Amino acid sequence: ALAQKIEDRGEMIDNDAKLTGMSSFDIRAAAVALKEFQAQMLTEMQAAQKLLVVRQIEAKKSGKPEALKEMLSLQERLKGAQVQAAKYKVMPPAVERHIAAQKQIDEANAKVGAAEEQLEAALAQVAALARTAQLPGAAPEA
């Protein structure tokens, strides 16, 4: 169940098609949420691991092979969940690529915006100069 929960959450950011429709902010938020969830799951799995070890020792002492077999089965399931959780310790490459591309786009948009502002300021200055001083050969405004 834990492995499936982690897989479901990780699937959201591990798919290029889904990332394309998301903003950089949303991707980063989803990645942070996944990392927090993954850390929480690892903590819970470590606690479960300790409990299983105690129960395995008790099962060995009691001499009940079915109880020991059940504990070993649970141990294998827990290991599978831990492997699944470890997959998302680092962000998937698709997320890293998308965030880097989005960052470049944001930087380019900022540069274009700054250039547009400078152009508007320059045009305003030219218009002000044209109003205050007639340039030689320029026709007066009507």
- In order of 12, 43, 54, 120, the CA distances from 47 in angstroms are 27, 6, 11, 63
Q: What is the pLDDT of residues 28-60, one digit of tens each?
A: 787 788 778 888 888 888 898 999 889 888 888
Contact 98, 31 (CB under 8 A): no
Is the pTM value of this prediction over 0.75? no
Assess contact for 29 and 58: CB atoms under 8 A: no
3-state secondary structure 91-131: CCHHHHHHHHHHHHHHHHHHHHHHHHHHHHHHHHHHHHHHH
Domain parsing of the chain, residue ranges? 2-132
Model confidence pLDDT, tens digit, residues 44-103: 888 989 998 898 888 888 888 888 888 888 889 888 888 877 776 777 777 777 778 888
